[in-house]
Amino acid sequence: MTVNIKKILTWAGIAFLLFFLISAPSQASDVVNGILASLQQAAEAVITFMRNLFE
């Protein structure tokens, strides 16, 4: 029987995320909000770049 490391690591990651979400929901929401804020800033930077490029 072959052990698929990628599958094991994927399930371990999902289990960790669920544990983190259940054990510390406030901190989990802070992490998600931080990630979303970073993505928003990145998108705004790209939009600003494109506007300045085509002015």
| pTM score of the predicted model | 0.66
- Beta carbons within 10 angstroms of residue 47's beta carbon: 10
Confidence tier at 2 by pLDDT (50, 70, 90): low
> What are all long-range contacts of 32-37, with beta carbons under 8 Å and residues at least 24 apart?
none
52, two tokens: 């300045």
Interval 7-51: pLDDT, tens? 999 999 999 989 988 999 999 899 999 999 999 999 999 999 999
14, two tokens: 């999902």
pLDDT for res 3: 72
